[in-house]
């Protein structure tokens, strides 16, 4: 069971390219470090539905999914410790996308930066405003909102260019909750100012669109060649060199500790030859990346291993997504016609959605209870008691003390990894309030 103190952190990478050093420094490395912090439940996923928006080459989407998954794993992501999955393995995500689509204003999507940038580009080219804009591009922020809200993420580590999307997800959560009750958790963007924006070979931001990248896991010799092609000024060996504005120095800085960076800056001042500086940069990067390369190459040669890891991750993710989606469907009125109908029973809708305890006896002769929500999803499951009276007393305690009774009863409860602590707590709280006559 999720401990109530745990903070949920979620991030995704679009699977439309081959990871480069900029992705490693800006996202992969920070994610792997963050996933090792105590008290954090991390979700990392391959955003392959998002890839379809900009990449319509099936082989490339598949290859990129493997490359990015292998990069994350080679960089040290532990799939036992985090929930690591592929977006398209979770059918609840497109389902939630639709529910969110219906509470999102078209005007809000009109104002999304990525969409507006396309409009500006079309205007500048004298084209029709919506030329080359698919409905997928327009809906991008809603799909991203579903990614985040599906797992009730508190924090989303992203680059500054994505802050608007997180704000839109907050708005979607607020609209949904206003209409249907407090179900969705508003997320916050997590911006790490220490994460470097890496320059590329030509000194501009390292980006696939500028074709100035250094591949993260190419062959060793390829990395050396790419580093040797970093653009520098024409100062001769012996002449002092500036670290300011030097792409070479900036890339070194992203891999070095303070002492190493100071020594490298001193070498610049002392007039190190560019060729030697590049060799030092290559060796410094290799020291970090080199040990990961064998694992990367192994995984690339064994896609079945990566596939099995992703399938296991999807099972963990769906253990959360499936019951949550059931609750959300119920909340919006997508319900079995036999589900207790608020308008027919005369009971208040709050009452008809109260969770209920059920006591029963198993074939092993012992006595059990479980707590289910209005849709029948199990929120709490006891272990066997010797006597029905003991089970009954545990239920009474939960009814009168609410979530506060959980700690004392842990020995009698089975862990349910797919039930989030907030869902259970709010269920117990509503029962306690009911019992207290509120």
Provide the binding-site residues for ligand TRP, judged by CB under 6 A. Answer: 10-12, 14, 47, 50, 144, 147-148, 156, 158, 162
Q: 12 or 313, CB closer to ligand TRP?
A: 12
3-class SS string, the chain:
CCCCCCEEEEEEEECCCCCEHHHHHHHHHHHHHHHCCCCEEEEEEEEHHHHHHHCCCHHHHHHHHHHHHHHHHHCCCCCCCCEEEEHHHCCHHHHHHHHHHCCCCHHHHHCCHHHHHHHHHHHHCCCCCCCCCCHHHHHHHHHHHHHHHHCCCCEEECCHHHHHHHHHHHHHHHHHHHHHCCCCCCCEEECCCCCCCCECCCCCECCHHHCCCCECCCCHHHHHHHHHCCCCCCCCCCCCCCCCCCHHHHHHHHHCCHHHHHHHHHHHHCCCCHHHHHHHHHHHHHHHHHHHHHHHHHHHHCHHHHHHHHHHHHHHHHHHHHHHHHHHHHHHCCCCCCCCCHHHHCCCHHHHCCCEEEEEECCCCCEEEEEECCCCCEEEEECCECCHHHHHHHHHHHHHHHHHHHHHHHHHECCCCCCCHHHHHHHHHHHHHHHCCC
Closest contact distance (angstroms) between CB of 165 and ligand TRP is 6
Closest contact distance (angstroms) between CB of 74 and ligand TRP is 20
Residue, CB closest to ligand TRP: 12
Q: 74 or 156, CB closer to ligand TRP?
A: 156
Closest contact distance (angstroms) between CB of 183 and ligand TRP is 19
Q: 47 or 431, CB closer to ligand TRP?
A: 47
Closest contact distance (angstroms) between CB of 121 and ligand TRP is 18
Q: What is the CA radius of gyration of the chain?
A: 26
Closest contact distance (angstroms) between CB of 147 and ligand TRP is 4
User: How many Å apart are CA 350 and CA 229, to the nearest integer?
Assistant: 66
Q: 90 or 398, CB closer to ligand TRP?
A: 90
Q: 192 or 390, CB closer to ligand TRP?
A: 192
Closest contact distance (angstroms) between CB of 432 and ligand TRP is 35
Closest contact distance (angstroms) between CB of 112 and ligand TRP is 11
Q: 48 or 373, CB closer to ligand TRP?
A: 48
Closest contact distance (angstroms) between CB of 311 and ligand TRP is 20
Q: 53 or 265, CB closer to ligand TRP?
A: 53
Closest contact distance (angstroms) between CB of 144 and ligand TRP is 4
Q: 144 or 374, CB closer to ligand TRP?
A: 144
Q: 112 or 254, CB closer to ligand TRP?
A: 112
Long-range contacts of 55-61 (CB under 8 A, 24+ apart): 55/16, 60/16, 61/15, 61/16
């Amino acid at each position: 069971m999720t401990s109530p103190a745990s903070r949920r952190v979620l991030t995704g990478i679009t699977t439309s390219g081959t990871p480069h050093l900029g992705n490693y420094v800006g996202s992969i490395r920070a994610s792997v470090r963050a996933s090792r912090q105590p008290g954090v439940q991390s979700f990392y996923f391959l955003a392959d539905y998002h890839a379809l928006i900009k990449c319509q080459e099936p082989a490339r989407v598949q290859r990129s999914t493997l490359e990015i998954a292998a990069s994350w794993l080679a960089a040290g992501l532990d799939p036992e410790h985090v929930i690591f999955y592929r977006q398209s393995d979770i059918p609840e995500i497109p389902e939630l996308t639709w529910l969110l689509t219906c509470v999102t204003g078209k005007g809000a999507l009109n104002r999304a930066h990525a969409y507006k940038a396309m409009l500006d580009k079309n205007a500048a080219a004298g084209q029709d405003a919506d030329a080359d804009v698919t409905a997928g591009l327009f809906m991008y922020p809603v799909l991203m909102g579903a990614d985040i809200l599906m797992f009730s993420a508190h924090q989303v580590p992203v680059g500054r260019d994505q802050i608007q999307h997180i704000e839109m997800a907050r708005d979607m959560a607020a609209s949904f909750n206003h209409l249907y009750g407090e179900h969705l958790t508003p997320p916050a963007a997590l911006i790490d100012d220490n994460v470097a924006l890496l320059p590329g070979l030509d000194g501009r931001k390292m980006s696939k669109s500028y074709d100035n990248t250094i591949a993260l896991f190419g062959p060793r010799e390829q990395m050396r060649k790419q580093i040797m092609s970093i653009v520098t000024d024409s100062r001769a060996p012996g002449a002092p060199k500036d670290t300011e504005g030097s792409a070479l120095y900036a890339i070194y800085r992203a891999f070095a500790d303070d002492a190493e960076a100071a020594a490298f800056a001193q070498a610049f001042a002392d007039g190190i030859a560019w060729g030697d500086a590049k060799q030092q940069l290559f060796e410094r990067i290799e020291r970090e990346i080199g040990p990961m390369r064998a694992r990367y190459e192994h995984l690339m040669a064994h896609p079945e291993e990566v596939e099995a890891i992703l399938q296991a991750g999807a099972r963990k993710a769906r253990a959360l997504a499936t019951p949550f989606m059931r609750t959300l469907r119920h909340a919006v009125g997508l319900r079995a016609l036999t589900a207790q109908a608020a308008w027919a029973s005369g009971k208040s809708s709050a009452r008809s959605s109260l969770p209920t305890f059920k006591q029963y006896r198993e074939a092993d002769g012992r006595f059990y209870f479980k707590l289910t929500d209005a849709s029948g999803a199990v929120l709490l499951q006891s272990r066997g008691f010797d006597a029905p009276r003991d089970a009954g007393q545990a239920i009474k305690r939960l009814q009168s003390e609410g979530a506060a009774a959980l700690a004392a009863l842990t020995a009698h409860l089975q862990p349910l990894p797919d039930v989030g602590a907030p869902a259970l707590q709010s269920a117990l709280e509503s029962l306690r309030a009911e019992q207290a006559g509120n």
